[in-house]
Amino acid sequence: MIKANLTWANESNKVETLDDSDCLLILTTPELLASQLFHFSTPAKTYIEQVFDDEGFAGNKGQCVLVQGLKAFKTSYISDTENSGKNKISQQLAEVKRVLFYGVDFALFEASDAPNVSGRASTLSKTNDPSMVNRSSYASDSNSAFYSKSTSDLKQTNAPAFRYLEQQFDALFKKLKSLSVTLEKLALMALSTTETASSDPVNTIASHSPFLSALLRSYFKHGYHFKGYKTNNRSVSSSRARDGNNNATSVEKNAATNEAINQALDMRGTLSLALDAKHFTNAQKRLVSHTMRYESALNDAMTWAKDLAHMPANLCTPDYLAEQAQHLAQTFNTVSCDILNESALKQLGMNGYLAVNAGSQFAATMPILRYTAKGLENSPPVVLIGKGVTFDSGGITLKRSPDMRHMIYDMAGACCVLGVIQAVATLGLNINIIGIVASADNAIDGKAYRPGDIITMHSGKTVEVMSTDAEGRMLMADAISYAKQFTPSVIIDIATLTGAAISALGHKATALFSNAPALESALVEAGELANDRCWPFPLWPEYQDAITSQHADMMNTGINSPGAISAGCFLSRFADGTPWAHLDVAGTAFTYTKSLSATGRPIPLLLSYLSSCAIKNNQ
């Protein structure tokens, strides 16, 4: 797990940031270089300037230079009682193993008006907990800050400042990796004098919450690493095969497996961020702290989701996902968990759900998580449903074998739901949420369901199975039908559902389908603000004809039809009159044919949307 630490620094404690850092990262411009070098001792400064000359470094955008060997100047300091603060920092700078100077595009910052702190402070004051405020709500307070096109790059990309800055930070952290600089112990410090504090890039980035979010999100993304199971991390699955006495609420433990899993997921790193305290008002400090908390909660959620998605199917089974849901409920007193086992699912008539799992040796489960905000116990919840097919062989409609191993990612939607609820509980958002983890294993044996089968779903509607590889919609349809009993304000399902979504949008945007224009618009806006975009597709009546069956109410795949839209049409029939949206994340939750490619999307989009809903509940 990687994290970020914040220090409100002055001349006496600024150096604490460097205590455990392998590399100090200094963002600079040609105009700021001289004032930043002021903090180094004269011999060290001379050495750095020589390195600059050798490398042709002037602090221009995209330029970087790595300076090593500053410890050689550690003994060259003299006592300076009149400038003891500078002298102390200079001595500490000599302890840093490496210093990397990186030129940034400061024109963007200069063109962007500072956000309206007083306006945001009033928003903060309306809540009992600053964590209830959506980062994206105050990111949009200043249109000039968020949609600035003042630089040539912005004009070319026509991108919001948040997305533009994240791209620049992506380039920075990729550069660090190319120089073999580890991201595990990185310090980012405002090296400014009293006169230059307002123009230091680090202070300026922190003053604009979208910029700070872009920095943190890029660091977390590039700092993530799944350790895996090599050598001493070998493990044996603890998941139980199905038997007549299956009880998903009492999953057996296997110490060796759990230890192996913990070792595989245990990877730590820290970004230490030191800001000049005098440059920020109290309102700005609260906003910075909130942004740090929001992004840290988001990162923890995405890290957990990615870790789960990367786990092999013999370890991450439906029982294991149920166990994770239980653990989440035990961690937060605002979260509770009920788990429906196969017996309960059968009694409920979840026949489409159970058909998917019929050929598996592992039992299907359906964990139901409830996050309840204080004072909103009787308010309608937002229902999130995540597809959790722990492995998708395609069933009898068998997938092609070369890339079948990547079907461990077919439970990414379920991982997203777990992560979102963890983030919401961490932030204490003022909203009620029900999360359903629709978990099964699409395998093959004599009991597996077949093409041509007619299945009566939970809703009572009948489905003719055309393809057993269209299993996700069978699973999700029953879960959507079941969720309507909670009288939700909206239902949002998240599923790696169709390859057609990848054909249409690639790996850049999530495919969005909805029967409610207001919900569709809200999700598109949330995705834009979170830089986790989705794109709406139509569900016109003309498209419904493709799944008409001669033998049942509908087929589970269309004939000569756009696959992603046909899947959306199928699911829409089970939402009926409830506001509903379907996020097909087949192209964004992971990259098909690429190992260790889980992204944690669309958690940023959903957390942005839910935070906006929480703000409305506060008003």
Q: d(Cα 237, Cα 313) in Å, to the nearest integer?
A: 9
Structure tokens of 413? Answer: 């939607």
Distance CA 74, CA 309 (A): 47
Q: Catalytic residue at 399?
A: yes
Note whether 226 and 264 are within 8 A (CB): yes
232 contacts: CB under 8 Å, gap ≥ 6: 263
DSSP state of 553: S
- Residue length, the chain? 619
Extract the tokens encoding 32: 């700021």
Residue that has been written with the tokens 């230890």 in this structure: 259
| Edge-to-edge order in the sheet of strand 554-555 | 454-456, 462-464, 554-555
Q: Minimal CA–CA distance to 388: which of 478, 457, 513?
A: 478
Q: Which residues pair with 514 in a beta bridge?
A: 581
Write the single-letter amino acid at 406.
Answer: H
Evaluate whether 6 touches 289 at the Cβ level (below 8 Å).
yes
The reply to whether 185 belongs to the active site is: no
Backbone angles phi, psi at 510, to 5 degrees: -85, 140
What b-and-e string marks burial along 117-138, b requiring 16 or more CB atoms within 10 Å of the CB? beebbebbeebeebbbbbbbbb
Residue whose C-alpha is closest to residue 227's, from 174, 178, 184: 184
| Residue type at position 279 | H
CB distance 611 to 134 below 8 Å: yes
Q: Which two tokens stand for residue 223?
A: 């700092």
End-to-end CA, the chain: 35
d(Cα 567, Cα 546) in Å, to the nearest integer? 10
Cis peptide before 602 (omega within 30 of 0): yes
Helix-then-strand count for the chain, H and E: 23, 17
C-alpha separations of 118 from 109, 124, 198, 213, 287 in Å: 20, 10, 18, 20, 11
Task: State the catalytic residue, choosing from 286, 473, 484, 533.
Answer: 473
CA–CA separation, 521 vs 531, rounded Å?
15
Its sign, for the CA torsion 443, 447, 452, 454, is negative
Task: State whether the Cα torsion 321-323-327-333 is positive or negative.
Answer: positive
Q: Are 421 and 335 in contact (CB under 8 A)?
A: yes
**Distance in angstroms (rounded) separating the CA atoms of residues 317 and 312:** 9
| Beta-ladder partners of 386 | 437, 494
CA distance linking residue 49 with residue 57, whole number of Å:
9
CA atoms within 13 A on the CB side of 95: 13
Task: Return the amino acid letter for 551.
Answer: H
Q: Give the pairing of strands 433-442 and 366-371.
A: antiparallel
Secondary structure of residue 43 in the 3-state scheme: helix
Of the residues 88, 227, 293, 399, only one is catalytic, namely 399
By annotation, the residues acting in catalysis are 399, 473
